[in-house]
C-alpha cells in the first residue's frame, strides 16, 4: 500500500526515498529520483541550484549512477558542475529527506528545516545552506503519465514552494552570505529521461508563489498560484503558455526560450483552501510573463531537442542535437543536467493579475 500524502502539512516521509514503492515494476531499471533546491538572492545578484539525484538505484542495467549538480549565476557569470558518483556513494532514508552522495548531503532538522551542503569536484562551488519552509507543501503529481508509454509515471512533491534560505555559497573562492527566497521540490518515478521534456517555472515572494510543470506534447501538465495561503490549481487544459523570446546556447548549439507568457482565467482553476465560489472569481484572471536572465551556458554533452507543437505562436521546431554521453553512463542524463541548470535561473516574473479581492495594499513583489 502506498502512503497518503494529500494533507495540508506533509509528513517527513513524503519527502523521503520512494524506490520501495516502485520496486518490482516492469520499468524498475528506469527509476530516477532527485531532491532539488534553488535560491534567488536579489541583494547579492545570486541565483543558485543544487540537485541530488540517483538513476537506476538497484543497478539493473549495470549503468546505475548517482550525481550532484550545482550551478551559480552571479551577475552575468555562470559556474556549474555535474559530479558523478557510484551507487555505493548514495544513501538515503525512507522516513525523511536525509540524503548523502559522497561528501554532499541533505540533513533534516524537522519537517520545515533542512540543511544542504557540499562542494563541486572542480572546486568552483561549495554550499552550506539552511532552508526553512514558508508555504504549504503541494503534492502536485501522483503517478502522472509524462511520456508516450502509459507506464512512464512521475510523482512531484513541492515540499517547500517557498523557503527562507540562509547560509553561505562560495563561488570561485568568494564567499557569499545568503539571506534569500528559495524553493525545494522532489521528483521520482520511471520515465525515459531522453524523451520526456517539460517547461518548468517557479517564483516565490512574501505572499505569493507560482509553480508550473508543463509536459511538452502531453496533457498532464499543471500549474498553481498561491496568494496568501489560497492556492489555485490549473490543469493543462485550463492554461496556455507561449514562448515569446529565445536565446542561443553557443556551446551546445541549441536555442531555448528565455521569455514565456503564462495565461489562465482563475474561474477555470480549483481552490485548494476555503473553496471560493465560481461567482466570486469568474471575472478574475492571471497572466505571468516569465523571463530567464542571462544565457544558458554549459559544457555538458547534450542529447536534446526543443519542440513544443501544442503551444501556439511562435511554434518553432528545433533540430535535435545528438552527442554521445562521454562517460559511459546513460546518455539521457545530460538532459537531466540541462533541466537542473534551467531551474537555476530562478525566473523573474512581472505579475499582472486582477485578483484585487485577495490582495491588500501592502502586497509587494519580492
pLDDT tens track for 112-153: 999 999 999 999 999 999 999 999 999 999 999 998 889 999
Please spell the DSSP secondary structure of 52-106, one letter per residue. EEEESTT-SSS--EEEEEEEEEETTEEEEEEEEE-GGGEEE-SSS--EEETTEEE
In this prediction, residue 285 carries a pLDDT of 59
Q: pLDDT band at 314, cuts 50/70/90?
A: very low
Residue with cell 504549504: 136
Q: Is the pLDDT of residue 280 over 80?
A: no
More confident residue, 75 or 336: 75
Highest mean pLDDT among 23-37, 241-255, 274-288, 299-313: 23-37
Q: Walk me through the domains of the chain, giving residue ranges and CATH numbers.
A: 12-352 (2.40.370.10)
pLDDT tens, position by position, 8-34: 446 789 999 999 999 888 889 999 999
Antiparallel, parallel or unpaired: β 254-265 and 240-249: antiparallel
pLDDT tens, position by position, 159-188: 999 999 999 999 999 999 999 999 999 999
pLDDT tens, position by position, 41-71: 999 999 999 999 999 999 999 989 999 999 9
How many angstroms separate the CA atoms of 241 and 68, rounded? 30
- The mean-pLDDT minimum among 53-57, 241-245, 249-253 falls in 249-253
Please spell the DSSP secondary structure of 2-59, one letter per residue. PPP--SSS--GGGGS--HHHHTTSTTGGGEEEEEEEEEEETTTTEEEEEEEEEESTT-
Q: Is the pLDDT of residue 324 over 80?
A: no
Pair 92, 12: CB distance under 8 Å:
no
Q: Which three cell numbers stand for residue 109?
A: 532538522
Find, among 128, 131, 137, the residue nearest to 156 by Cα: 137
Q: Is the pLDDT of residue 295 over 90?
A: no
pLDDT tens, position by position, 195-221: 888 888 888 888 888 899 998 889 999
* pTM exceeding 0.75: yes
Q: Is the pLDDT of residue 236 over 80?
A: yes
Question: What mean pLDDT comes out for the span 289-318?
Answer: 37
Find, among 347, 322, 348, 45, the residue nearest to 199 by Cα: 347
Average pLDDT score, the chain: 75
Find, among 24, 93, 30, 83, the residue nearest to 59 by Cα: 30
Q: Count of CB atoms within 10 A of residue 7's CB?
A: 11
Please spell the DSSP secondary structure of 181-194, one letter per residue. EEEEEEEEEE--TT
Q: Which residues have CB under 8 Å from 45's CB, separation 6+?
A: 74, 75
Pair 80, 47: CB distance under 8 Å:
no
Pair 336, 53: CB distance under 8 Å:
yes
Amino acid at each position: 500500500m502506498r502512503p497518503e500524502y494529500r494533507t495540508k502539512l506533509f509528513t517527513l516521509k513524503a519527502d523521503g526515498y520512494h524506490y520501495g514503492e516502485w520496486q518490482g515494476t516492469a520499468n524498475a531499471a528506469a527509476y530516477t529520483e532527485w531532491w532539488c533546491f534553488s535560491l534567488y538572492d536579489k541583494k547579492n545578484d545570486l541565483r543558485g541550484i543544487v540537485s541530488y539525484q540517483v538513476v537506476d538505484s538497484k543497478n539493473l542495467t549495470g549503468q546505475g549512477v548517482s550525481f550532484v549538480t550545482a550551478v551559480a549565476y552571479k551577475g552575468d557569470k555562470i559556474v556549474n558542475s555535474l559530479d558523478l558518483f557510484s551507487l555505493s556513494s548514495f544513501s538515503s532514508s525512507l522516513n525523511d529527506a536525509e540524503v548523502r552522495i559522497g561528501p554532499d548531503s541533505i540533513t533534516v532538522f524537522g519537517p520545515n528545516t533542512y540543511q544542504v551542503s557540499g562542494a563541486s569536484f572542480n572546486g568552483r562551488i561549495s554550499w552550506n545552506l539552511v532552508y526553512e519552509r514558508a508555504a504549504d507543501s503541494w503534492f502536485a503529481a501522483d503517478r502522472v503519465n509524462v511520456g508516450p508509454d502509459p507506464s512512464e509515471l512521475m510523482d512531484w512533491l513541492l515540499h517547500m514552494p517557498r523557503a527562507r534560505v540562509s547560509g553561505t555559497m562560495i563561488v570561485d573562492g568568494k564567499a557569499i552570505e545568503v539571506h534569500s527566497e528559495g524553493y525545494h521540490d522532489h521528483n521520482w518515478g520511471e520515465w525515459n529521461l531522453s524523451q520526456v521534456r517539460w517547461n518548468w517555472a517557479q517564483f516565490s515572494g512574501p505572499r505569493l508563489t507560482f509553480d508550473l510543470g508543463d509536459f511538452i506534447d502531453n496533457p498532464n501538465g499543471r500549474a498553481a498560484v498561491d496568494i496568501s495561503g489560497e492556492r489555485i490549481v490549473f490543469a493543462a487544459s485550463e492554461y496556455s503558455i507561449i514562448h515569446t523570446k529565445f536565446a542561443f546556447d553557443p556551446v551546445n548549439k541549441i536555442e531555448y526560450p528565455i521569455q514565456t507568457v503564462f495565461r489562465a482565467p482563475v474561474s477555470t482553476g480549483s481552490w485548494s483552501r476555503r473553496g471560493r465560489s465560481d461567482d466570486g472569481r469568474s471575472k478574475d484572471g492571471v497572466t505571468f510573463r516569465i523571463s530567464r536572465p542571462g544565457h544558458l551556458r554549459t559544457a555538458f554533452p547534450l542529447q536534446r531537442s526543443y519542440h513544443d507543437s501544442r503551444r501556439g505562436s511562435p511554434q518553432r521546431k528545433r533540430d535535435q542535437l545528438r552527442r554521445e554521453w562521454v562517460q559511459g553512463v546513460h546518455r539521457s542524463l545530460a538532459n537531466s543536467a540541462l533541466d537542473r541548470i534551467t531551474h537555476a535561473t530562478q525566473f523573474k516574473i512581472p505579475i499582472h493579475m486582477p485578483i484585487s479581492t485577495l490582495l491588500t495594499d501592502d502586497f509587494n513583489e519580492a
